[in-house]
A = this chain, B = another copy of it.
Amino acid sequence: MNRANLRIDIGRLMNRLDRLAQVGAIEGGGNARLALTDQDKDGRDLVIGWMKALGLTVTVDAIGNVFARRKGRKDLPPLMTGSHIDTVRTGGRYDGNYGVLAGLEVVEVLNQAGIETERPITVAFFTNEEGARFHPDMMGSLAYVGGMPLEEALAATDRDGKSVGEELHRIGYAGPEPVAKPSLHRFVELHIEQGPVLDREGVTIGAVDTLQGISWTEFTIKGTSNHAGTTPMRLRHDAGYVAAELTTFVRRLANEIGGDQVGTVGSVKLFPDLINVIPNKAVVTVDVRNTDEARLKEAERRVATFAEETAKAEGCTVEAKRLARFEPVIFDARMADLIERTAKGLGFSVRRMTSGAGHDAQMMQRVAPTAMIFVPSVDGISHNVREFTSPKDLEAGANVLLQVMLDLAG
C-alpha cells in the first residue's frame, strides 16, 4: 500500500470537532472551556475517550498535560503532534481543538491502513494554552519543556484566588506522571492561522517558520478617589485617566514602530467603577508583540516610560507586573521546508509565514525541532464565536499533517 495515497476522512474529523464544540457551547456557535473549569474537564474526558477507543496509551502529567501514545516498531523518542483544547471565554471551535483532533484523525487513518511506524507517535494536548484564566499562557507546554518550575505553575491563581493545583485536583487531572524535560524526535502542530494573511491571499497552507515574541504587562495605577462634581480638574489624581492615556499610547506606539508590531489593551478595570467617583485605581493590561526581539524590547521600554511619566504628571503611582514574556521563536527550517514541500506535493498553495499568536509549539522548539502548519481563518477572526475555517481547508491541513507525520515517523 502506498503511504503517499493515504488521506484523512474529513467527515470523521468534522464530527469530532462538532461533538467537542458541544461541550461548553455558547451562543453564536462558539465555546467557553476556560482551563480547568468543569467545561474543560468534560472536554478532556471526551477527547480521552476517543484516544482510548483508538487504542492509544493515555498518560496525564502533574500539570494536566495529556499524552496519547501509539507504539512504533522501535522504542525511539516519539514524533509528537498536538495543541490544546482549552478556550478563551468567548472562543471559537477550531482554535487548538483542530490540531488535537486532526492528530487523532491521523492515528485513525494509520490504524485503518494497518501501518506501523518506526517511531512511536504521540498526540498531546497541553494545559492552559490560552492563559485566559491562569497566567502565563502556554503554561502546560512551558512546564513540560522545563521552562517553568511545576510548583510555580501549580501556584498560579485565577481572579477568584483558585490555584491551578487545586483546580487540577478538583477536576481529576493532577496526573501521576512527573513533568520532565522530554526526549522527543520532532514536534509538529497544526493550527488555524487566527490572522488574515492566508485568507486574504487565497493561500491554503502556511509553513510557519517564526513566531512573534509576546510581552504581557499588567499596570496598576493608583490615584485618589474623589467626588466627580466638586473636585476641580487641576486637583485630580485620576487613575482611570492615566489608564486611558496609556491605552491610546499603545495604539500610537504600534503604528509608529510599524512592521509587524502590534499592541493591545484588552482588559481595563476601574475602582470603585462608579459614574460620579474619580477612579482611585485602574488595572490595565498591555499586550505587545513583535518578531524582532530588539523592537519588542523598545516597545516594552516605551510603554513603561509612558506609564511612569503620565502617572507622575497626574499625581498617581504606577506598578508594572510582568504576566508573560516570550522571545520571538525561530522554528526548525528543515521542518518548515518539509511542510512546504509536502503541501506542494499534495497540490496545495503554500507560503512561509510568521505566527502572530503564541502556540505550544514555541515551547516545544526548546526541546525538539519544531514547526507549524497553518490553515486560513476567514477574515482573520479568532478568539470569537465567529471563528471559521472551511471544511475544505481543514481537510487540506490535516492531509498535510498526515503526510508530514508519515515522513517523520518513518
> Contacts A196-B235, A224-B381, A248-B244; is A229 near B262 (CB within 8 Å)?
yes
Contact with B along A246-258 (1 / 0, CB 8 A): 0110010011000
User: Given A227-B194, A262-B232, A89 and B241 touching (CB < 8 A)?
Assistant: no
- Residue among A216, A233, A287 with most chain B CB within 10 A: A233
Interface size on A, as a range, is 35 or more
- A residues 350-367 near B (Cβ < 8 Å) are 355-358
Residue A264 is within 8 A (CB to CB) of chain B in the complex = yes
Separation in Å of the A45 CB from the closest CB of chain B?
25
- Check A384–B266 contact: CB distance below 8 A: no
Residues of B within 8 A of A403 (CB): none
Closest to A214 in B: B229
Mask for A65-93, Cβ within 8 A of B = 1, else 0?
00000000000000000000000111000
**Chain-B contact segment, one of A10-18, A145-153, A273-281:** A273-281
Provide the main secondary structure of the chain A interface: loop
Chain B residues in 8 Å Cβ range of A194: 227, 229-230
The chain B residue sitting closest to A263, CB to CB, is B233
A125 CB → nearest B CB, Å: 19
Q: Which residue of B lies closest to A135 (CB)?
A: B275
User: In whole angstroms, how far apart are the Cα atoms of A14 and B256 in the complex?
Assistant: 59
A209 sits at the interface (CB 8 A): no
A233 contacts B216, C-beta separation under 8 Å: no
Contact A356 B267 (CB under 8 A): no
Which residues of chain B come closer than 8 Å to A261, judged between CB atoms?
233
Report if A220 contacts B (CB, 8 A).
no
**Is B262 a contact of A270 with CB atoms below 8 Å?**
no
User: Does A289 sit within 8 A of B, measured CB to CB?
Assistant: yes
Chain B neighbourhood of A196, CB < 8 A: 230-232, 235
For the complex, is A370 an interface residue (Cβ under 8 Å from B)? no
- Are B248 and A265 neighbours in the complex by a CB distance under 8 Å? no
Residue with the greatest number of chain B CB neighbours at <10 A, chosen from A88, A227, A244: A227
A382:B262 contact, CB within 8 angstroms = no
Contact call B380/A231, Cβ cutoff below 8 A: yes
Q: Given known contacts A90-B225, A224-B384, A240-B247, what 9 new A-B pairs fall within 8 Å (CB)?
A: A89-B272, A193-B230, A194-B230, A226-B380, A229-B287, A231-B356, A231-B380, A245-B248, A268-B273
Closest 4 CB pairs of A and B: A195-B230, A230-B356, A244-B247, A228-B264
